[in-house]
Structure 1
């Protein structure tokens, strides 16, 4: 996904739990041989589960299409026998109340009735009898699409963003004289467009008499959930009053509600038929004017851990986000004033110092009920959420939701419901969400170098037991504080710092969990570990170091139980350029399946294919981002591999783990996107014959308008016949086989 400009916020000076163990003369290879109880980490012995699985036979199924070649063309590239159409794109109207999109930046509406920008995670919800959710394909559905939307908003305005009456330049600049950022003033109409293109688009789609999918412009189900939509704050009953104290603002002094959702990246789909829009890199939208006084020490520590206003506070502000507080009416119009998170009031109820606390959650939406108020599910933790994938539901058993935190050196989490699954809850919407997502336990993952792992529960008792000294960095007042400041809690209990954990996915055949580690420029030889074993220099035309090409990790819960406290893991695939050499290209990728920076990840329920989508900056001199198909296998189906690291002249380190080379029969490149784009977001019809895929931010590197016209990096999809030509637009495409067959097999 398009990422936070400050990738690594895990800069705590607190001693990491690995260092505590190291003092006890335990080697990195033998750090933990036990699970976690309330008081001691060694109370539950772990088995060498990966070793027991290491000799399983690989999967025999093979892919049935010719791999497409790498491409830097400004177009969609698919295998022979496949074709695509564009379903909808940025700015397309979802109501007849407004005109068609001009693609000139001249729209005068506020974008609340248009498809948002930066199409990302998505899912399909079939409409059954009486308008209820059904998993059966009825040829009528609602497609729900996240809109991540970062800072390239200049295409929405005729001549780029406007500041102080001047268009076509950045809206802010750093002033050496004042030691801060001068925002100037911005037009209200521009800022409203930028706020409202964020969030989620909910659009009805139907299969016409020719079998082609189209979106319905005038449907009663169409709506936008955007940066201003009212939200309900929901969480555990025992801690709800404390949670609300973190959410108090001038908008709602009770802390019961908030407004809007931002930077919705990966997503989740619940067994009862609702959508989880995950709030990812929300932290950079806020601003403190020059001369603002420091917020209290705990708020400052919280903001620094999440990347909200990272610079010194007194007299100097951090980066000004999107400039949404730079509207002249912000003092009287809270639509704009809310992005200024200084503390001019006597209490939090008089200003917006707590506004950042209302973001960073999974937002539950009922796609088939336009009257349902979305809910922020605080029990699932607050961080840079990247997908929330549910375990395979088992009647009478709790559900687990697996979540990544999208930044370098962050963590993988699991939320386990208190309620057990009842299939009769399918279609019950937000009432079912309250039942399953408000009460439960939140865990963070620790990956041991021997292929085992433990889930550490995040609560005040464990934090005190495992790292009592962390109070000097951040002192937790109660369990609500843990849920709102989850990153701090995960660091305190010694979770494994991962190479940017992004999308997760569940293998429907065996329930195993997969996560993409997109990349990590701060990984060094000294801090490699079994789960993040590579630190190397990529010395081609786009020189990068650390783990620039990323990898995919997977794990199996002990006994296959959602409630398990232990798991076995291995590395499924390493991204690499095919000519990178054996020390880097550990998965033996070839010209037909090499890739870099895996990001989106999704399993087909119909075929079992694991679809891998990339968001890359390390290989784009050779190829645009892509979509690959993989036959997954199972944890432990490979063999031991030893990684020898040598970065920047540092001494090499050795890490051994279970991995496998799939070969071209089980891993092939299926699609390459247009220039500057990220390939992200994927879903399908239940027969596996129609694939929906999102193309995000084509032309991302187009510079902001200066003295002359835009110099477009991409002009897709207009250059392939969809809509007005000219400016690039994110879009959802629909892929089918020309013979009507199942995709991929």
Structure 2
């Protein structure tokens, strides 16, 4: 895609945006050098580390970061820090079993074959151990579960997307969703294993719907009586009871219509629904995606989907109590015996949410019920004095009453964005991944970029580089309804923005993926849009291709650990329990990139040829495996 549709806001609520909050909170003279920003004395109280958030120091090297930083790169490959090695494990199109259909490098695989292969555009991912206990075997054998966010139809089909057919739509649907595959470390090499566990949850898989919006709700009565599939799965979550949460993000992108008389409703408009979608044009062949003919199909997407990777007979469940937004992820932590789920709604000008279970999760599970079906969904308001509040999205409270046009809690959850508008949530610069710091329970969120509001003293407006915020829930309890917040790091290049003091080892833009490893390293992955990647006019020529860095959240030190190939995003990261193997996803190498070119069916390698570098092949999203050459812990 030549642009990122997430950069276009559909929020016209008039709520005070985060940029304006920052403008009131900070001036440029408040921006402290050293990669983090803060106001003096801010957040000193209550920080578990004893250090004010943002008031960090680089006087001593971080004990967590033991590797030498790699420089930025514009090469068509993956580079990792010295002393580490990377190999490809799961590329798009690899068969799920040894007797499955082989990858066709000319894109001639059928839809039926694609359903038996690893999907495309890898994103969020988790490793579920199959070994016994927490011993060595638990880190040598497990299930790798990974999301497939979207497809590039130019690369997916031999003749691209000049004509849309049902077969092409079916192949694309089979390439979306979630792959579950068994992997094992054998003789020092990770390999896939033929297993009954190996399977796909695609955009056509039958699913259940649970929570305040049941499957028989009138808003879900689309043409097909069976609710099917999950789509545009971005990041993810993992429950304490060992299930996987796949998160539906840009579901609006697949819907459109050729009906010139169709106009979006206010609700559809708030979710970015329009006649063109993101240009997939599936509605030309499949009425399921024609928004004029089948409008209620829309309401079946935008949810968090729970999958049990160990139970091959398990039917995925859409958990509606978590709200209907463009879920970037669903990060779960436990507080006061209850589950707390954080999610960002990834569109410019949208919000950060939190779900708190109503009861201790173990007691709910003991009754045969889901802890994700009953609780309170909140949305965040950030105040300019550094405080914040979680605003409940509960029918009958505040403006969410029948007098104001709200029918019940199901209506609130179906129209989560509008409910958040009504209560006065803070519009953000594209809130993406969220991570909870081990020990402190502080919460970090990446804000990729955006133009959510105004403010001359705002660190950036427009915010083309993005930043990472951090907040501390009252008394360290993630169930709390108030918090204090700060900026953890201001991304960018000091050559173009003197408010940034990152150096060559740490400059980056558009933070996206965030993940804390068990030792407390914060891994940061980037998704600089291909419309500006390596473009000097956009201030991205020194930053290079997308990358992954590691940060010490206490000292503020950041180092670049990995750089990716041309046109790719780096996203999805997890280690085995012993932290001696890391899995990382490389998404959409070879996608259209303004500074390089545009792939075509005749020349799919115009931008990248990673990872195969086959003169007759095409670029492929893939999961890579990273190991330290001496067998040590990743990051040391």
TM-score (norm 2): 0.87
Structure 1 residue 197 displacement after superposition? 0.4
Provide the C-alpha distance between the structure 1 equivalents of 2:25 and 2:528, rounded to a whole number of angstroms.
31
Provide the C-alpha distance between the structure 2 equivalents of 1:609 and 1:577, rounded to a whole number of angstroms.
23
Partner of residue 220 from structure 2, selected from 238, 244, 247? 247
- Cα RMSD for the two superposed structures: 3.0
State whether residues 389 and 401 of structure 1, in contact with CA within 8 Å, keep that contact through their aligned partners in structure 2. Answer: yes
- Does the C-alpha gap of structure 1 residues 232 and 280 become closer, same or farther in structure 2, counting only changes over 3 Å? same
Structure 1 residue 213 displacement after superposition? 1.4
**What does residue 563 of structure 1 align with?**
479
**What does residue 534 of structure 2 align with?**
620
- Does the C-alpha gap of structure 1 residues 80 and 440 become closer, same or farther in structure 2, counting only changes over 3 Å? same
**What does residue 401 of structure 1 align with?**
341
**What does residue 203 of structure 1 align with?**
181
**What does residue 195 of structure 2 align with?**
219
State whether residues 78 and 562 of structure 2, in contact with CA within 8 Å, keep that contact through their aligned partners in structure 1. Answer: yes
Provide the C-alpha distance between the structure 1 equivalents of 2:630 and 2:3, rounded to a whole number of angstroms.
39
Provide the C-alpha distance between the structure 1 equivalents of 2:308 and 2:119, rounded to a whole number of angstroms.
18
Structure 1 residue 134 displacement after superposition? 11
- Does the C-alpha gap of structure 1 residues 17 and 481 become closer, same or farther in structure 2, counting only changes over 3 Å? farther
Provide the C-alpha distance between the structure 2 equivalents of 1:379 and 1:135, rounded to a whole number of angstroms.
38
Provide the C-alpha distance between the structure 2 equivalents of 1:6 and 1:517, rounded to a whole number of angstroms.
12
Matched, 1:56 2:51: yes
**What does residue 553 of structure 1 align with?**
469
- Does the C-alpha gap of structure 1 residues 521 and 120 become closer, same or farther in structure 2, counting only changes over 3 Å? same
Q: Secondary structure at the match of 1:219?
A: coil
Partner of residue 124 from structure 1, selected from 118, 124, 127? 127
Matched, 1:714 2:608: yes
Matched, 1:576 2:579: no
Partner of residue 323 from structure 1, selected from 281, 285, 290? 281
Provide the C-alpha distance between the structure 2 equivalents of 1:534 and 1:703, rounded to a whole number of angstroms.
33
Provide the C-alpha distance between the structure 1 equivalents of 2:268 and 2:442, rounded to a whole number of angstroms.
35
**What does residue 436 of structure 1 align with?**
371
Structure with more relative contact order (C-alpha pairs < 8 Å, separation 6 or more): 2
**What does residue 34 of structure 2 align with?**
none
State whether residues 590 and 605 of structure 2, in contact with CA within 8 Å, keep that contact through their aligned partners in structure 1. Answer: no
Provide the C-alpha distance between the structure 2 equivalents of 1:6 and 1:278, rounded to a whole number of angstroms.
16
Q: Secondary structure at the match of 1:534?
A: coil
TM-score (norm 1): 0.75
Structure 1 residue 211 displacement after superposition? 2.9
Encode CA deviations 1:439-487: one digit per residue, 9 max, x unaligned: 000000011111111000002333427x999x5xxx3222111101101
Encode CA deviations 1:220-271: one digit per residue, 9 max, x unaligned: 10111111011111113xx648x7221111212xxxx511111100110111
Provide the C-alpha distance between the structure 2 equivalents of 1:18 and 1:408, rounded to a whole number of angstroms.
10
Task: Mark the structure with the bigger radius of gyration.
Answer: 1
List aligned pairs for 1:479-558, cutoff 5 A: 479-521=409-451, 523-525=453-455, 533-536=458-461, 546-558=462-474
State whether residues 596 and 619 of structure 1, in contact with CA within 8 Å, keep that contact through their aligned partners in structure 2. Answer: no
**What does residue 168 of structure 1 align with?**
none
Q: Which runs of no fewer than 5 residues in structure 2 stay unpaired?
A: 27-40, 536-540
Question: Structure 1 residue runs of 4+, over 3 Å off?
Answer: 1-4, 6-11, 14-19, 27-30, 57-60, 132-136, 291-295, 317-321, 521-524, 708-711
Encode CA deviations 1:182-206: one digit per residue, 9 max, x unaligned: xxxx332222111110111111111
Q: Secondary structure at the match of 2:330?
A: strand
Structure 1 residue 711 displacement after superposition? 4.9
State whether residues 207 and 316 of structure 2, in contact with CA within 8 Å, keep that contact through their aligned partners in structure 1. Answer: yes
Provide the C-alpha distance between the structure 2 equivalents of 1:449 and 1:17, rounded to a whole number of angstroms.
10
State whether residues 146 and 265 of structure 1, in contact with CA within 8 Å, keep that contact through their aligned partners in structure 2. Answer: yes
State whether residues 211 and 373 of structure 2, in contact with CA within 8 Å, keep that contact through their aligned partners in structure 1. Answer: yes
State whether residues 679 and 693 of structure 1, in contact with CA within 8 Å, keep that contact through their aligned partners in structure 2. Answer: yes
**What does residue 292 of structure 2 align with?**
342
Structure 1 residue 619 displacement after superposition? 5.0
List aligned pairs for 1:251-400, cutoff 5 A: 251-252=224-225, 257-294=226-263, 300-309=265-274, 317-319=275-277, 321-327=279-285, 336-343=286-293, 352-391=294-333, 393=334, 397-400=337-340
Provide the C-alpha distance between the structure 2 equivalents of 1:725 and 1:505, rounded to a whole number of angstroms.
41
List aligned pairs for 1:410-429, cutoff 5 A: 410-422=350-362
